[in-house]
Amino acid sequence: MKTKPIVIPLCVMVILALTTGCMTTTQKGAAVGTGAGAATGAIIGALTGSPAMGAAIGAGAGALGGALVGDHLDKKREKAEYAQMERELQMERQSRSGEGKNYVEGHYEYVKQRKWVDTSKKERVWVAERYEGDRRIEGHYEDRNVPSGNWQEYEEKTWIPAHYE
C-alpha cells in the first residue's frame, strides 16, 4: 500500500519526459521539475502522513526550479550559438581577402546634408493701451520677431581617402 504514492508521480514524470519533444528547454525543465518535485514531495509527504499535500508542494517547487534551470540553459545555448556565428562570420571575412581586410581606393562620394534656413522676420504690431498695476501704458507699436524657417537638403562632394574595410 505504501508504493502507490510513489508509483503515480513516477509514472507522471516518465510521461512528461517522453512528451517533451517540441518544447523549449525552459518548458522541458519545468515539466521534468514538476514530475521530480511531485515524486519527491509524495515520498516526503508519505513519511509525514500527507502524500497528496507533499506531492502538490513538491510539484510547484519542482516546476519553478526546473523552469529556472531550463531558462539558464536556453540563454547559455543562445550565447554559444551567437559566438559560433561570430566566429564563422570572422572566418568568412578573412577567407575573402587573404588578410581579413578589403582595400578601397580613394574616391569622391556625394553625401546628403541638411541645414536650417532661417526666414524669421520682424513685424510691427500695434499693442493696445493697458494697465499694469496702477501704471498706465499707452497704445504703441512694437517690433516683434516672427520665427520661421525650413530645412534645406543638399549634396556635398567629399573626398574619401584610400582605406581598408
Residue-wise pLDDT for 111-152, tens only, equals: 898 998 888 888 999 999 999 999 999 999 999 888 888 889
**Domain residues for 48?**
4-97
Answer yes or no: is 117 within a domain: no
pLDDT at 46 over 70: yes
Answer yes or no: is 145 within a domain: no
Answer yes or no: is 65 within a domain: yes
Answer yes or no: is 31 within a domain: yes
- List all residues 6 or more positions away from 36 whose beta carbon is below 8 Å from its beta carbon: 13, 62, 66
Answer yes or no: is 53 within a domain: yes
pLDDT at 63 over 90: no
Give dist(CA 88, CA 90) in Å, integer.
5
Degrees (nearest 5) of the Cα angle 71, 10, 77? 20
Q: What's the predicted TM-score (pTM) here?
A: 0.42
Measured CA distances, 92 to 2, 98, 103, 124, 165 (Å): 63, 10, 16, 69, 14
Check residue 139 and give its pLDDT. Answer: 92
pLDDT at 47 over 90: no
Answer yes or no: is 160 within a domain: no
pLDDT tens digits, 79-118 = 999 899 888 888 777 766 555 577 888 999 998 989 988 8
- List all residues 6 or more positions away from 110 whose beta carbon is below 8 Å from its beta carbon: 155, 156, 157, 158
pLDDT tens digits, 8-41 = 666 666 666 666 567 777 788 888 888 888 888 8
Contact 36/14 with Cβ under 8 angstroms? no
Answer yes or no: is 84 within a domain: yes
Answer yes or no: is 113 within a domain: no
How many domains does the structure of the chain reveal?
1
